[in-house]
Amino acid sequence: MDGTELNGAIDKAPTQRWWRKELAEMARLAAPIVLTQLAWVAMLITDTAMIGRLGAEPLAGASLSLMIFFLLYVLCFGVVMATAGLAAQAFGARRPRTVRRVIRQGLWVTILLTVPSIFLLTFIEPLLALLDQPVETLPHANAYMSTLKFCLLPAVAFGVLRNFVAALNRPIVALWIMVGGAVVNVFLDYALIFGNFGFPRLELVGAGIATSAVNTLMFLGLLSIAVFQKPFRRYTIFGRFWRPDWYQFRQIFRVGTPIAGTMLLEAGFFIAAVFVLGQFGAIAIAAHMIAIQLPHITFMVPMGLSQAATVRVGQAVGRRDAVAAYRSGWIAMGLTLAFMSLMTVVVIMIPELFASLFLDSARADSPAVLALAATYLFYGAFFQAADGLQAVAAGALRGLNDTAIPMVIAAVSYWGVGFGSGLWLAFGVGMEGVGIWLGFVFGLGCAGTFLTLRFRRLSKRGYMPALAPDTV
Percent of the chain with pLDDT over 90: 43
Is 56 within 8 Å of 365 (Cβ atoms)? Answer: yes
pLDDT tens, position by position, 2-53: 444 434 443 444 555 667 777 788 888 888 888 887 887 778 778 878 887 8
Give residue 94's region: left, alpha or beta (phi > 0; psi -120 to 50): left
Closest CA to 89 of 257, 256, 260, 320: 320
Which of the four pLDDT bands, split at 50, 70 and 90, describes residue 382? confident
DSSP string, 354-375: HHHTTS-TTSTTHHHHHHHHHH
Residue 436: inside a domain, yes or no? yes
pLDDT tens, position by position, 220-234: 999 999 999 888 988
Residue 228 burial (CB count, 10 A): 9
Residue 30: inside a domain, yes or no? yes
Residue 17: inside a domain, yes or no? no
Specify burial of residue 145 (Cβ count, 10 A radius: 0-12, 13-18, 19+): buried
Domain total for the chain?
1
Distance CA 143, CA 154 (A): 20
192 versus 280: the higher-pLDDT residue is: 192
- Residues of 42-80 as b/e, b for ≥16 C-beta within 10 angstroms? bbbbbbbbbbbebbbbbbbbbbbbbbbbbbbbbbbbbbb
Q: What is the 8-class DSSP label of residue 464?
A: -
Q: What is the 8-class DSSP label of residue 121?
A: G
pLDDT tens, position by position, 242-254: 888 889 999 999 9
Calculate the CA dihedral of residues 180, 394, 95, 254 and round it to 10 degrees.
-110
pLDDT tens, position by position, 250-307: 999 999 999 899 888 888 888 788 778 878 877 888 888 788 878 878 888 898 899 8
DSSP string, 380-430: HGGGHHHHHHHHHHHHHHHHTT--HHHHHHHIIIIIIIIIHHHHIIIIIS-
Distance CA 126, CA 115 (A): 20
Residue 232: inside a domain, yes or no? yes
Record the pTM.
0.78
Distance CA 350, CA 78 (A): 33
Closest CA to 439 of 258, 282, 301, 288: 288
Residue 18: inside a domain, yes or no? no
In one-letter notation, the amino acid at residue 383 is F
Residue 304: inside a domain, yes or no? yes
Distance CA 285, CA 270 (A): 12
Q: What is the 8-class DSSP label of residue 157?
A: H
Residue 156 has pLDDT above 80, yes or no: yes
Q: What domain range includes position 234?
A: 23-461
Name the H helices within 136-233. 138-148, 152-167, 172-194, 204-228
Residue 215: inside a domain, yes or no? yes
Which of the four pLDDT bands, split at 50, 70 and 90, describes residue 370? confident
pLDDT, residue 361, reads: 61
Is 410 within 8 Å of 321 (Cβ atoms)? Answer: no
Query: Going by C-beta distance under 8 Å and a sequence separation of 6 or more, which residues neighbour residue 302?
Result: 336, 339, 340, 387, 388, 389, 391, 392
pLDDT tens, position by position, 98-146: 889 999 999 999 999 999 999 999 998 888 888 777 788 888 999 999 9
pLDDT, residue 224, reads: 94
∠ Cα 191 192 194 (to 5°): 75
Is 373 within 8 Å of 380 (Cβ atoms)? Answer: no
pLDDT, residue 354, reads: 72
Residue 4: inside a domain, yes or no? no
- Residues of 281-300 as b/e, b for ≥16 C-beta within 10 angstroms? bbbbbbbbbbbbbbbbbbbb
